[in-house]
Amino acid sequence: MKVLPAMMVPVLLATLPACSMRKQPADGSTGEQIYRDSACATCHGEDLLGTGSAPTLLGLAENWEREALVEFLFEPSAFRKGNKRLVKLDLQFSADMPGFANLSDDERDRLAGFLLAQ
């Protein structure tokens, strides 16, 4: 469990509604539509540049293979345990990355494809 400075609590509380704002993507949604419908922009920004609570999503292809990113999107907390880079990155931001078990494998794959193309 992370211990946050008191000044970060309002930022964290502001991100909590993001999970409840998720919409199930329509059949055939593009990766970009899935990004919007899954409320990713709440933490990562509409422009994917990141915010105070989550990192940028630009340039992910430098560190990710598509299959690994799809796996990460399913359950980020389990995936990052064995990855020093992700553990370090996680400590820099206030929001915990939620999992996307609500998405199908194909939807997570489309989302990953969109993110890796940025």
Residue 12 has pLDDT above 90, yes or no: no
Which pLDDT band holds residue 16 (cuts at 50, 70, 90)? very low
Taking the model in full, what pTM does it have?
0.81
Say what the pLDDT of residue 82 is: 85
Say what the pLDDT of residue 23 is: 75
* CA–CA distance, 33 with 89 (Å, rounded to integer): 26
56-72 in b/e form (b: 16+ CB < 10 A) is: ebeebeeeeeeeebbbb
Say what the pLDDT of residue 11 is: 46
* CA–CA distance, 103 with 33 (Å, rounded to integer): 13
